[in-house]
Chain A
Amino acid sequence: MSAIFQHLANALSVGSLYALMAIGYTMVYGVLRLINFAHGEIFMMAMYVVFFGLATFMMPWYISFIVAILITALLGVTAERLAYRPLRDAPRISILISAIAVSYFLQNLATVLFGGRPLTFPQVPLFTSMMNLGGVHISRLLILTPVIAAVLLVGLQYLLKRTKTGMAMRAVARDYDAARLMGIDLNRTIAMTFFIGSALAGVGAIMWGMKYPQIIPTVGAMPGIKCFIAAVLGGIGNVAGAVVGGLVLGMTEILIVAAVPALAGYRDAFAFVLLIIVLLVKPTGLLGEKTTEKV
């Protein structure tokens, strides 16, 4: 019984981590129609910043978290400004390649700045100590991760639905030119989208680091790809879809391995199998809208 509970809690927390990062993909895709391949590297940078904040500069954990989230958000905005904005009117493939190049650049930059040797993400007892929940001992993290993710999601929904910035983002996602004609500042709105998406990736990275504490320059690559898959599963461009996709992916990974431990070595392949099944059955994702190309 407690084992089942443990697995479910684990699945939920991994799922909410995926969801946090998938939102960044889905928001950027919404406004730019771009798979931001550098999203995983932004996630990776957040982990390093926390590491140096806590281990080298001895900051209190909350300061280092805030600094990491801010730096990550600014990094996302900078990438957009330097590598994506000049290509906004270019064929979509150019901007996709640019995103790949940014990811490549950040990985190499991390190798030079921080070295290729794995570092260990510092533990913050408030999050990582064990707690007793109805007789079951589990890490606080398993409970806190979904709670933090849920709070952020509610906040994001409020932002998107009720604030001017959020409405501008939705307008840009729906129709670029119309939004521009309505007097929406395109550059500012897109920058804001990157800021929020990257900040959420930063939060995701911190929670991820406490769960899987190894930091290397390529640490963001796999979560990055998986979270894009989560966004596609849910229906790319759709924030609620990203959450659903993240949870579905997290659940699938953890529960399949829990049920059939022999498949543990193939865990990273599940996401892709799931992706291909969904794309073939319902190409627009679970919550996506159908679009027909005009001929």
Chain B
Amino acid sequence: MAKTAVQPINESRPGKVVSVTLTTILLAALALLLWWMQSAISDVYILKITRLCAINITLALAMNLINGFTGIFSLGHAGFMAVGAYTTALLTIPAKSKEMMFMIAPLIKPLDTLTLPFPVALAAGGLLSALFAYLIGMPCLRLRGDYLAIATLGFSEIIRVLIMNAQRLTNGAMGLRSIPANATMAWTYGVALITIAFMALLTSSSYGRALKAIREDEIAAESMGVSLFSHKMMSFMISAFFAGVGGGLLAAYNGTIGQDMFRVSMTYNILMIVVMGGMGSISGSVISAFVVTIGQEWLRFLDGPLTIGSIHTDGVVGLRMVVFAALLLIIIVFFRNGLFGTNEATWSGLWRSIGRMSGHKKRGEAA
């Protein structure tokens, strides 16, 4: 019979201390590594990809909360990211650049001269995004399954259409440039870490358990006194908050944004990370964010000149995305639970699998 991964009630005290210590050591090592990379690696490209991994962690976890933990198939992620990205950009771009950029019509007051510190702008983006989630959730969260998926996707597109048409707020089709490059190693990883901690604590709290109950069986959850609408709304808004923050980071990372970035395919990209890691697994999303982000870059060689046996090509642009999409399709069809399913990577789980592996070896040696 299957055992579930985490059981707080019988986790022994010393076990917990060991876990916490190991996690702290791991985090410290990671921080050191990043710090070392920044000074030792001169390749800007590698550093850039490293930061993108962190942003993708935040984005994937945001989506995992609603799609994986709550079991609501929402496809509105790109819209929330757009709200966060535009808010952060408008609040951090210097007044001079704004004046130059808004050529067709000037930016509305007081945004034209207002600039705020990056963290404040990020938080504002997240909050505004959560507000959008509240308004969108009012009608959408009453819908079920596929209808909800298509309605959230619809709202995401509506946000994009609004952005394209709100010339005096978003600069319309021309997008925004000169966004200060605040998405440093410290900010991207700092935010990712906060997101991981927040999600881990939320999903293991009583509220997180209620969300999982809704995922497992709505009718039973409701009969056990869990208010479906308010819990779904909570999950939806928190998810949108972090998607907005992630969008803000992405804006600062890219330096330029346009409505075209926030098409449905953006939602799909993040969805693929979540699915690969396992819907309902935080550690899965984190590992998958690294694998997918780095994997996409690593596959870049496919776009260049290739020699396979006697066949030689001069480089086919986009081939890596085809290969990547095919790999994803294979994963979905044959390993649909992703890396972790709904389980988490734990230290004790790691010991067990190491134990199993060495056990194998010993038996192998004996034979």
- The interface of chain A, by Cβ under 8 A from chain B, is 33, 35, 82-83, 86-87, 90, 92-94, 96-98, 100-105, 107-109, 111-112, 116, 218, 221, 225, 228-229, 232, 265-266, 268-269, 271-273, 275-276, 279-280, 283, 293, 295
Contacts and interface: CB of A to CB of B under 8 A. Distances in A.
Given A265-B164, A275-B150, A96 B73 contact: yes
B165 A97 contact: no
26 contacts: A35-B149, A35-B150, A83-B332, A86-B333, A93-B279, A94-B336, A97-B332, A98-B333, A100-B268, A101-B272, A102-B329, A105-B328, A221-B264, A225-B153, A225-B157, A228-B150, A229-B150, A265-B165, A268-B161, A272-B154, A272-B157, A272-B158, A275-B150, A276-B151, A276-B155, A295-B219
A47 B135 CA distance: 38
B333 A273 contact: no
Given A98-B333, A101-B332, A232 B322 contact: no
Contact of A96 (B71, B149, B154, B318): B149
B147 interface: yes
Given A87-B336, A104-B268, A269-B161, A293 B318 contact: no
A112 B326 contact: no
B275 A97 contact: yes
A265 B161 CA distance: 8
B318 A111 contact: yes
B60 interface: no
A149 B93 CA distance: 52
A83 B161 CA distance: 32
Interface in B256-304: 263-265, 268, 271-272, 275, 279
A172 B154 CA distance: 30
B278 to A, nearest CB: 12
Contacts of A83: 329, 332-333
Q: Which of A96, A108, A218, A271 has the most CB of B within 10 A?
A: A108
Given A268-B157, A272-B155, A283-B147, 19 more contacts: A33-B146, A93-B73, A97-B271, A98-B332, A105-B325, A108-B318, A108-B325, A111-B317, A112-B321, A225-B153, A225-B264, A232-B147, A273-B158, A275-B154, A276-B139, A276-B154, A279-B143, A283-B143, A295-B219
Contact of B329 (A101, A273, A293): A101
A105 B322 contact: yes
B145 interface: yes
Contacts of B219: 293, 295
A12 to B, nearest CB: 24
The 5 closest A-B pairs by CB, nearest first: A272-B154, A105-B325, A108-B321, A111-B318, A112-B318
Given A266-B161, A272-B158, A225 B150 contact: yes
B147 A279 contact: yes
Contacts of B149: 35, 96
Contacts of A283: 143, 147
A268 B158 CA distance: 8
Contacts of B271: 97, 100
A279 B151 contact: yes
Contacts of A268: 157, 161
B352 interface: no
B360 interface: no
B319 interface: yes
Contacts of A109: 322, 325
Contacts of A86: 333-334
Nearest to A84: B333
Nearest to B326: A105
A86 B330 CA distance: 11
B316 interface: yes
Nearest to B165: A265
B142 interface: yes
B217 to A, nearest CB: 11
Given A96-B149, A97-B271, A229-B150, A116 B158 contact: no
B297 to A, nearest CB: 16
B319 A112 contact: yes
A105 to B, nearest CB: 4
Contacts of B71: 93
B63 to A, nearest CB: 12
Contacts of B318: 108, 111-112, 116
Contacts of B279: 93
B139 A280 contact: yes
Nearest to B159: A269
Most A CB within 10 A of own CB, among B150, B162, B317, B336: B150
A101 B328 contact: yes
Contacts of B336: 87, 90, 94, 97
Nearest to B67: A93
Contact of B265 (A33, A98, A107, A273): A107
A112 B316 contact: yes
B328 A104 contact: yes
Given A112-B318, A283-B147, A269 B157 contact: yes
Contacts of A116: 317-318
A268 B322 CA distance: 28
A228 B150 CA distance: 9
A57 B35 CA distance: 58
Contacts of A87: 332-333, 336
A218 B154 CA distance: 17
Contacts of B272: 101, 104
A139 B73 CA distance: 43
Nearest to A273: B158
A266 B71 CA distance: 32
B150 A104 contact: no
Interface string B311-327: 00000111101101110
B329 A98 contact: yes
Contacts of A101: 272, 325, 328-329, 332
